[in-house]
Amino acid sequence: MTTGSIGVMPEAWHQVVAASTAILRTGAAACPQTRDVGLEAVDGVLLAWFRRHARELPWRRTRDPYAILVSEVMLQQTQVERVLPRYLEWLERWPTVEALAAASPADIIRAWQGLGYNRRGLNLHRAARIVARDGWPDDLTRLPGVGRYTADAVRAFSFGEPVLPEDTNVRRVSERTGHRFGPDCGQALMDLGATVCLARIPRCGICPLAAACPSRGQRYEPLRKQSRFEGSFRQRRGEALRAVAVGGQPDDADALASLARDGLVELRSGLAALAD
C-alpha cells in the first residue's frame, strides 16, 4: 500500500492510528503491513469500515475496462440509482467494446435517453470505436469524453494501477480530514463521501474518521444553487431529441441547431434525423 507523506502527523491522527491498531491486527489479510503502524493505519481504519459498509455496485464485480468505462461515463453527471438499471441494460445489449463500436450513433442516442447530457453517449461510442480499432491507449485521456478522473478510475479499478481517482467525494473527504489517502482507498472514499461525509451536513456521528477529523461537526453551505432544469434550454434540447428519436419533427429550431452542432442530430433539407 502506498500513501502520501505528511511531514508531521497531526496530533489528532494519533488517536485514529491507535484505534486502528486493533482493526489492523484482526484484518491482517487485508493489510499486510500490520506492524508498520503509520499513516497506513489511517487508511486501514477507512478500509476496515469499507469492508463492512461497501455499497454493492455491479461495476465493482468486474475488472473489464470497457464495463468500468461505461459505468464511469454514466456516473459523470447521473446519480447512482438512475445509472444502475441502465448500466445493466447497456452491458446486456453491448457486452464488449467491439459490440458497442459496431452500433450506430442513432442506436446509442436512443439508448442514452433519460440519462441526460447525451453527448456522453456519443463520446463513449467514439471511444469504443477507437479502442476496438487501436486497443486501449496508454493515455486514456486521449479518448473522447475521458477526463483525468475517468481515466484514473479505469486505471485503478481495471488495470490495478496505484492511482487514487479523485472525484468530488474523494476530494471532499481528503480536504476535510487533511489526510492524503493511498491509492487503495479510492472506492472506500467514494462511499464515505456519498453516504457519510455528505456535502452540506456530514454525518460525523457515524464516521470512522471522526475521532481525528479537524472538520468534525461542521456544516457547509451549498457552493452554488443547481440551475433549474424546468424551462431551461437543456430541457428544450432534451424534448427535441426525444421527439426526433421517435421520428418526430419538433419546431424548436434553436434546440435542433444546438443538437446538430453537438452531432446528435442531422438536419437534411430542413428535416431532422438522429446522427448516423
Task: Enumerate the active-site residues.
Answer: 72
Task: Please compute, for residue 126, the number of CA atoms within 13 A of its CA located in the half-sphere on the CB side.
Answer: 15
Measured from the CB atom, the residue of 146 and 173 that comes closer to ligand SF4 is: 173
- Amino acid letter, residue 251: D
Region 198-227 residues binding ligand SF4, contact defined as CB under 6 A: 202-204, 207, 209-210, 213, 215-216
Query: Can residue 158 be called a binding residue for ligand SF4 (CB under 6 A)?
Result: no
Measured from the CB atom, the residue of 72 and 167 that comes closer to ligand SF4 is: 167
Q: Using the rule CB under 6 A, give the single segment among 6-14, 68-76, 196-204, 233-241 that binds ligand SF4.
A: 196-204
Measured from the CB atom, the residue of 151 and 209 that comes closer to ligand SF4 is: 209
59 contacts: CB under 8 Å, gap ≥ 6 = 67, 68, 70, 71, 87, 157
CB under 8 Å, gap of 24 or more: what pairs does 194-201 form?
Answer: 194/55, 194/80, 194/169, 195/53, 195/55, 197/169, 197/172, 197/173, 199/168, 199/172
223 contacts: CB under 8 Å, gap ≥ 6 = none
Measured from the CB atom, the residue of 18 and 28 that comes closer to ligand SF4 is: 18
| 190 vs 209: CA distance, rounded Å | 14
Strand partners, 266: 273
CA distances from 213 to 14, 16, 186, 196 (A): 11, 9, 18, 13
Measured from the CB atom, the residue of 114 and 214 that comes closer to ligand SF4 is: 214
Residue 9 CB, shortest distance to ligand SF4, in Å, is 17
Residue 127 CB, shortest distance to ligand SF4, in Å, is 34
Strand partners, 271: 268
| 123 vs 199: CA distance, rounded Å | 29
How many of the chain's residues bind ligand SF4 (CB under 6 A)?
A: 14
Among positions 67, 108, 196, 274, the unique one binding ligand SF4 when judged by CB under 6 A? 196
Residue 7 CB, shortest distance to ligand SF4, in Å, is 21
Among positions 42, 73, 74, 173, the unique one binding ligand SF4 when judged by CB under 6 A? 173
Query: Can residue 176 be called a binding residue for ligand SF4 (CB under 6 A)?
Result: yes
Residue 169 CB, shortest distance to ligand SF4, in Å, is 10
- Residues of the shown chain interacting with ligand SF4 in the complex, contacts defined by CB under 6 A: 173, 176-177, 196-197, 202-204, 207, 209-210, 213, 215-216
